Amino acid sequence: MEDEIQPLLNPTTASASPSVATSGASFTALLGLPPNRAVELLHEPTFPSDPALVDRAARFSVFAAAAAASSAPSPEVSPPPPPPETAKKRKDGASTNGKAKVKKGKHAEEDTDGENKLPYVHVRARRGQATDSHSLAERARREKINARMKLLQELVPGCSKISGTALVLDEIINHVQYLQRQVEYLSMRLAAVNPRIDFSGLDTFLSATTMECGRLTIGNAKVGTELDQQQQQPVWSEVGVSDSDQMNSTTNSKRLQIQLQQNQLQQFWHVDFLNTQNHLQPSVWERDTVMGSTAPHVQREEQHSFVGPGAVPLLSFDRVNPVAPPIQSNQQLKMEL
Amino acid sequence: MNRKNPLPNSNPNSPNSSMQALHFLQALARIARAAPKPAHSARTRQIRHAAYASMAHSSRSSRRTWSRALLHRLRQWQQQRPGRLLTVRRRVRIVTPITSRPEEPARAETLRQLVPGGRGMEYCNLLEETADYVQCLRAQVQLMQTLLDAFSS
């Protein structure tokens, strides 16, 4: 065994250096060996570790990748230097005597999406920390939780200044309760206001304008549940505007425009309706067929550049981001909401 | 307003919010068209129902646990309404120890009660669902506020 290991060891010792990148080379050399021997070799210097555990870990983490790739391990492992480093879920920290300290990196998301081969969460052990699989998993979990907490902190206003998880959680809970109370309060006010508004015109107008938008969403939500689509169909049909009847809807829209101008909403609901109807339609259909669920945001942007003046970001209710794409229309506003 | 959308699946101008808006407005139209009940409370309840329903139906949230749980809850509300005085609210579901773990902070239970469908989730998933729920709630509140402003000016 020694003789076949010697030639492999020679390049590794030759290239041994404190840098992280070349430390990968030494490992890739090991990959040429069958698993057992590699593990043995790796743990020869020191440790009375649990061989079964390490063996399993080694086999699954590294050699599963190698097997899946079904090519020479080194080109597969080397390309982006950090991830293959993390692929070694072993006792790196202690066993790499003299090697540079490995960076801590968590590649959970990237592993599942980017590489597509490694189903594992690869967490690197920091120097001097416990590296058995249990604590690694726990650390991964803790990191996930911390990442989510940071996300929530960004969402909830005024939370980024607070330090300490308990207070942040309190703040989040308060915010959720506040939002729910707001919904109740606003629904009460809407109930008071409601009888005054003529909703029938608004209804058909909305369905016609957002039909294209809805088709976009239907196309994008293809990946979503079937339920969603099924529930959309009755909603559309209930409104009473047929899908294929574009001409009717345009006439309806003209009527609606007139009607709406008499409403109180006229400041808000001006739409260059005809243009959008005619221009949006072909683009939407082809977009739908071509793109499944990719980048709805991008699609809408493209639509607007397609249409030109008077393009309407339909029902862009988020006042937060006044839409960059053509707000050229001072003539006929879109939803100045 | 600087509102960051760190989640990858949330675009400020995507059809998500417009679909949500559309559902809500259609529901409002339905409510207005239906026999206008003078009872203010009944209307309020209907509008609130419509708000939550449109939240649950937005395309961003159709894959989420909380939207399914919310729809379930809405259906329960609807069925409970007619015979409300007769049905005894029994706590059939006991909060099992599965939902509370030692590592979780004490507030996690409150959060679970707030977010629909929070009981059966792990803490880590709960946080993610909360983030999405907060986003959706915010969009809904903005939408309703905008409508109110439009209708009353």
pLDDT at A127: 72
Query: Tens digit of pLDDT for each residue in A111-142?
Result: 444 445 556 666 666 676 777 888 888 889 88
Percent of chain A with pLDDT over 70: 20
**What value does the mean pLDDT take over residues A210-233?**
46
Q: Which of A169, A192, A238 sits opposite B40 (nearest CB)?
A: A192
- What token pair was written down for A80? 């982006």
The answer to whether B8 contacts chain A (CB < 8 Å) is no
Return residues 291-330 of A near B (CB < 8 Å): 296-297, 300, 313-321, 323
pLDDT at B47: 84
CB atoms within 10 A of CB A311: 24
Q: Please say if the pLDDT value at position A256 is more than 50.
A: no
Which residues in chain A are contacts of B17 at CB distance < 8 A? 315-318
A204 band by pLDDT with thresholds 50, 70 and 90: low
**What value does the mean pLDDT take over residues A203-219?**
54
Residue type (1 letter), B137: L
Which is higher by pLDDT, A266 or B51? Answer: B51
* Cα angle value A186/A191/A193 (rounded, 5°): 95
Q: Do B63 and A224 touch (CB under 8 A)?
A: yes
Q: Which of B18, B23, B25 sits opposite A314 (nearest CB)?
A: B18
Q: How far is A80 from chain B (nearest CA, A)?
A: 24
Return residues 22-81 of B near A (CB < 8 Å): 22-23, 25-26, 28-33, 36, 40, 43-44, 46-48, 51-52, 57, 59, 62-63
Inter-chain CB pairs, A–B, below 8 Å: 207
Query: Per-residue b/e over B78-111, b at no fewer than 16 CB within 10 Å?
Result: eeeeeeeeeeeeeeeeeeeeebeeeebeebbebb
- What token pair was written down for A54? 């390490």
Tell me if A327 sits within 8 A of A300, measured CB to CB.
no
Query: Tens digit of pLDDT for each residue in A141-180?
Result: 889 988 998 888 988 888 888 888 888 889 999 999 999 9
Please give the ipTM for the structure prediction: 0.81
Q: Do B14 and A151 touch (CB under 8 A)?
A: no
A91 band by pLDDT with thresholds 50, 70 and 90: very low
Contacts of A141-147 with C-beta under 8 Å, sequence gap 24+, read A141/B124, A143/A106, A144/A108, A144/B124, A145/B123, A145/B124, A145/B127
A185 band by pLDDT with thresholds 50, 70 and 90: very high
Q: Which of A189, A191, A318 sits opposite B17 (nearest CB)?
A: A318
pLDDT at A108: 43
Phi-psi domain of A315 (left: phi exceeds 0; alpha: psi -120 through 50; beta: other): left
**Closest listed residue to residue A208, CA positions, set B98, B56, B25, B132:** B25
The answer to whether B108 contacts chain A (CB < 8 Å) is yes
Separation between Cα atoms, residue A250 and residue A278, nearest integer Å: 9
Q: Which residue blocks in chain A are alpha helix, DSSP H?
A: 2-15, 20-30, 35-42, 51-58, 64-69, 73-77, 82-86, 92-95, 108-110, 133-155, 165-193, 199-220, 226-239, 246-261, 273-290, 296-307
Secondary structure of residue A72 in the 3-state scheme? coil
pLDDT at A174: 92
pLDDT at A226: 42
Return residues 99-128 of A near B (CB < 8 Å): none
Complete DSSP assignment for B107-142:
THHHHHHHSTT-TTS-HHHHHHHHHHHHHHHHHHHH
Complete DSSP assignment for B3-72:
----STT--TTSHHHHHHHHHHHHHHHHHHHS---S-HHHHHHHHHHHHHHHHHHSTTTTTSHHHHHHHH
Q: How far is B41 from chain A (nearest CA, A)?
A: 8
Mean pLDDT for chain A overall: 54
Separation between Cα atoms, residue B43 and residue B47, nearest integer Å: 6
Percent of chain A with pLDDT over 90: 5
Contacts of A262-266 with C-beta under 8 Å, sequence gap 24+, read A263/A197, A263/A198, A263/A201, A264/A197, A264/B150, A264/B151, A264/B153, A265/A202, A265/B150, A265/B151
pLDDT at A175: 93
> Which residues sit opposite A106 in a β-bridge?
A123
Separation between Cα atoms, residue B129 and residue B119, nearest integer Å: 12
Q: Do B151 and A197 touch (CB under 8 A)?
A: yes
Q: Do B44 and A187 touch (CB under 8 A)?
A: yes
pLDDT at A181: 93
pTM, whole model, 2 decimals? 0.49
Q: How far is A198 from chain B (nearest CA, A)?
A: 8
Return residues 200-229 of A near B (CB < 8 Å): 200, 202-203, 206-207, 210, 213-214, 216-217, 220-221, 224-225, 227-228
Q: Which of B6, B141, B146 sits opposite A183 (nearest CB)?
A: B141
Query: Tens digit of pLDDT for each residue in A13-69?
Result: 544 444 444 444 454 444 554 545 545 544 544 444 555 555 554 555 544 444 444
Half-sphere exposure of A258 (CA within 13 A, CB side): 5
The answer to whether B144 contacts chain A (CB < 8 Å) is yes
Instruction: Give average pLDDT by consecutive 10-residue segment, chain B, 153 residues.
Output: 40 62 75 69 83 84 82 83 59 54 76 85 87 90 88 78
Query: Tens digit of pLDDT for each residue in A292-323?
Result: 444 444 444 444 444 334 333 344 444 444 44
Q: Do A180 and B111 touch (CB under 8 A)?
A: no
Which residues in chain B are contacts of A318 at CB distance < 8 A? 12-13, 17, 139, 142
Q: For residue A195, with 0-12 CB atoms within 10 Å meaning exposed, 13-18 middle and 19 or more buried, which class applies?
A: exposed
Separation between Cα atoms, residue A302 and residue B80, nearest integer Å: 47
For residue A306, what are the CA distances in angstroms to A278, A279, A281, A301, A334? 12, 8, 11, 9, 16
pLDDT at B42: 80
pLDDT at B134: 92
